[in-house]
Structure 1
């Protein structure tokens, strides 16, 4: 395993594995025995960065979520896992009532909700401190000042290490970070967005989320990351839920354009050159990107995890990387 530093200050920096394991479906779609086996193998391979959320996976049974965190808590207790494993979770996207959606009935980002959600996550996972706490989705109803102060209070009390933000417009991220800096408060240090080698059209509304609240790390956000070099992008859905290789899964409408065909052909060509799988090339391309990127890849079996882990040791040549980047 290789490792990368995340965090912008000496007090918060942590060394984490260059590959993060997504636990979104653990304890729901992925049964406990399989989830434990995947987690055990990830740690055995040197993995130290695991991602979850307090609302995972509410959509599987019409609940408010909590399945993933509860499973991670059982796994931590049964294995004696401590601070050596960095666990990131999220607040703000939990449905307020069972059977509702986080796009129109989310808990939001008030100071009260931030504290209650963080405490609930710590209890589920058996933690006395959350390593990374993300603001999961935008909450236009709550003043940004309240959100910034709510997160900062948890950091000041030692209940949270680093702060992150996911699925917010780049201008909202900058506004919150600028306000935190102005007031001498901790701000967002890690950004989590959908990002992969294949790129969606940007002239279509995001098919998954309402009002453009959630979605892809587009040019504006990538430009922001190039300017703010201390920030790290945690890239979720790097393998597009298997669509690089699975013929039974169609691409969504925003991925149906000639650029996808050209890039898909190129990544397959590089995979053939290297003797690696297409998925491994995609993950290796992200890990060596000019913008600091930690791919966040889920797995529903140990075999899938093994494929992802092998990408850590795949070194693309400068020529291969240039060919991938130049394809449009």
Structure 2
């Protein structure tokens, strides 16, 4: 493979006191990974050296002055800050959030400048990262503010893709947030993503109900009958294969999800609780709907095991391979679409 054609992945290192750097370094400890892509980490050589020593990892990281000076065949590092930073493994600190944000901002800047091809994010702490530069519930909302499109958070494995109609909002606000317009937007985003990012020409999507038993015809809430069901029927008229609403307990209990290419949950834990019960440690978080590709592992900062050499890199590896596959699929989709327009 021509090294100049290798996909360059920009990696933000996440909270410096968590397991982000551990799963990153363990992933690229296998030199064969460099045959698939060229990684650029945005962080600090001193912080990385601290983690390497604590974890007894023997892995070479190659410093470069900027992302446009990338060296293929190596793990590249752009030193995003020069000052000394105290690393306190497993602790929630102000610096943990401050430097996670510096890494994320630098990686996003490189993505905007087309110096990297897609974004792979290590976990942040949503509390200590809050600042004037990051006033968002999470990565997804931050990226939506920085790139074009309407985001859709999708947690996925090879067998299951769950998107969220409402994401990081309080449960008390879910009912008032779910509108026909929002449901249509999220269905359309998932439908397009399944075509563009996963090569599924005629996707089949399931929508979960909001209330227990989908409201039992209004006995336990009217939203399913008055909002969700009519909206699904309206979308069906456009030719899209969209079905529901389905009661979430039976849907997952009977493995009905296996009959669909994508599933839309009405709120965060309705989708993520069963997903993580079925797939935790092997899943990937993918931000669909934007004009860039971003993936991440399905776990958090892992403070309880940080620095103990116990973190499993499997989810991070899956996030890397998923990002590579989606990036290639999207590029191929764009080329096919462009060629189709030329022939008209």
Given the two structures, how large is their TM-score scaled by the length of structure 1? 0.31
Structure having the higher helix fraction is 2
Higher RCO, Cα 8 Å, sep 6+:
2
Who wins on radius of gyration, i.e. which is larger? 2
